[in-house]
Structure formats: C-alpha cells, structure tokens
Amino acid sequence: MPAHEGTRTYDAVIVGGGHNGLVAAAYLARAGRSVLLLERLGHTGGAAVSSRPFAGVDARLSRYSYLVSLLPDKIVRELGLDFRVRGRTISSYTPVERGGRATGLLVGGGEERTRRAFAELTGDEREFGAWQRFYGMTGEVARRVFPTLTEPLPTRAALRARVGDEDAWRALFEEPIGVTVEENFRDDLVRGVVLTDALIGTFADAHDPSLAQNRCFLYHVIGGGTGAWDVPVGGMGALTDALADAARAAGAEIVTGHEAVRVDTDGRTAEVTYRTADGEGVAAARHVLVNASPRELAALTG
C-alpha cells in the first residue's frame, strides 16, 4: 500500500521485544534487512527479564522465566552473544509426609545421592530404576529431536523415523503422558515430580486427549539435546540484553515505549501505527512480524 508522506519504510517491522522478537531482529539485520522493533514497555525482554528486587543490593534476578534450556548454542555462536549459564546440582526437592513422618524427594546431587533419596522415600530400588530407564529414553529422544528446532519443521513421519524408537514414540508422541507415567512409576509422589514438566504452564491434565501436556513435557526434556536446565548468570535479562545488543550492533532499530496499535495491509505491504507518550506514528513495512499473542495480533489487524 502507498506509504504516507514522511513515513519511513522498513523491510521488517517487528511488534514485541521479547526474546523471539529480538532474535528475529538480529538475524534479519545481519542479513542486511532494515528492521524496526516496537516494544510497548520501557524495556525489552518480555517475560524473560531481570530486576533488582533488593534495594541497595546490586543483584539482578530473573523476574518471570528463570532457567535456560531451549536456546540453541548455534544461535549463541552465530549472534556472538556475551552470555553465560551455570549448571545446577539440585534440580528439585519435593516435601511429603509418609507414615506421619516429614520427608521428601531430593533429585540431584549426583546419582548415588538421588538413588539414596528414592530408596529412603519408597523403601526399595525399583522406583529409581524406573526413573533411570525413563530419563534414559527421554535423553535419547532429546539428542535426536533437539537439532530439528533450528531446521525446517519435519513432517510427523520424518520425526518418527528420526526418533527411531517405536516405544518412545508411542509413550511421548501418541498417548497421553499420564498413561506412560502410570505404566512406569508406582509412587504417587514420583509420578507428580515427573508430571511437573508436562503440566506446568498448561491448562491440560495428564490424560488430556489434546496431548498439550505431551508437547509441554517434550519442551521441558529436549533442551540442548540433554534436557538440562541451566541458571543464567545475571538473570534471564542478561540474555535478552545480549540479544538486544546483537540486534542493535547489526543495525536494527529498537524502540521501547512504542505500542503497536494497528496493522493495515493490502496483503503486499503494510503500515504499522504505534503510540508513544508523545502521540502516534506510522511505519511502513514489507513484512510485519508479530511477536505477541494471537489475541494481540487479532486486535492489531481488526
């Protein structure tokens, strides 16, 4: 559509400065495209930001999301991100009362310590053996599936062939994860610990026919090809700041305090209207990437 007089035209206007918007801005700018990224808040990072919660203490903590797993090394390398993570020794501790006694399940601190924790909780070695077999299986799936996250989306058949283990395919991709967890684990607390990765952040239950819980589970166990979740040094905001730096260094224009309020398009080009504290502005674009919710996209396009 014809741009208004004085309106600057970009190859891409990106709505939303969360980590996905920032990654898109960095790659497009590095490919020589002109990029404008609009963020409505006063800072970039979206739900992956840090804050200094303690007055007078110079410590930055993750505010919402707090652990890194799904960020491919390939992106860290290609964008030259100045960003570090540290491993965790302990991954979880779940307190419980058994026989009137306060106890719990500690996962982590080395294989021997975890084995002892399972034995103390369940009274035998069976449950820890099941745990090792189950996570051996998810680890193998992780090694095969994670590289596809930075490749063109494979078909279902291609992914199944890549997984190359029909039992694992059935357990993780075909049947509700609740069935698999019940088949493999006897102890209700252990079942709950395994299911955390399937239910956190979803509104599905363990046996939901939509399999949304399986998708959630896979995202939690395939990161980095191992399923490990690391702590970002400086909080998650250190990562999104590094992404914003990489995008700016490549020439992307990033503006905060700019809320996109409308996208008009004739299907070939578009105009994005945005609001700032000082009024409204318009940017013309050959492509618009909306890195916000589907509801926001629907509102923007009317």
Ligand X SMILES: Cc1cc2nc3c(=O)[nH]c(=O)nc-3n(C[C@H](O)[C@H](O)[C@H](O)COP(=O)(O)OP(=O)(O)OC[C@H]3O[C@@H](n4cnc5c(N)ncnc54)[C@H](O)[C@@H]3O)c2cc1C
Residues in the site for ligand X, rule: CB under 6 A? Answer: 15-21, 38-41, 46-48, 64-67, 70, 259-260, 291-292, 296
Of the candidates 43, 21, 64, the one whose C-alpha atom is nearest the C-alpha of residue 235 is: 64
Residue 70: CB minimum distance to ligand X, A: 6
Q: Which is nearer to ligand X, 88 or 98 (CB)?
A: 88
Residue 103: CB minimum distance to ligand X, A: 27
Residue 15: CB minimum distance to ligand X, A: 5
Of the candidates 248, 240, 245, 239, the one whose C-alpha atom is nearest the C-alpha of residue 44 is: 240
Task: Please check whether residue 254 is in contact with residue 44, taking contact to mean a CB–CB distance below 8 angstroms.
Answer: yes
Q: Which is nearer to ligand X, 96 or 216 (CB)?
A: 216
Quick one: tokens of 302? 């009317």
Residue 19: CB minimum distance to ligand X, A: 5
Q: Which is nearer to ligand X, 137 or 239 (CB)?
A: 239
Q: Calculate the alpha carbon distances from 194 to 38, 93, 200, 225, 295 in Å.
A: 39, 12, 11, 18, 32
Q: Which is nearer to ligand X, 25 or 117 (CB)?
A: 25
Task: Please check whether residue 221 is in contact with residue 138, taking contact to mean a CB–CB distance below 8 angstroms.
Answer: yes
Residue 9: CB minimum distance to ligand X, A: 19
| Amino acid letter for position 157 | A
Q: Which is nearer to ligand X, 202 or 269 (CB)?
A: 202
Residue 96: CB minimum distance to ligand X, A: 24
244/32 Cα distance (integer angstroms)? 17
Residue 119: CB minimum distance to ligand X, A: 30
Q: What is the dihedral of CA 23, 25, 30, 31, to 10 degrees?
A: 110
Nearest-10 crossing angle of helices 188-199, 212-221: 90
Quick one: tokens of 47? 């739900």
Write out the H or E segment, with its range, that includes residue 93. strand 90-98
DSSP state letter for 69: -
293/300 Cα distance (integer angstroms)? 11
Q: Which is nearer to ligand X, 7 or 98 (CB)?
A: 7
Task: Please check whether residue 283 is in contact with residue 274, taking contact to mean a CB–CB distance below 8 angstroms.
Answer: yes
11/29 Cα distance (integer angstroms)? 10
Q: Which is nearer to ligand X, 218 or 292 (CB)?
A: 292
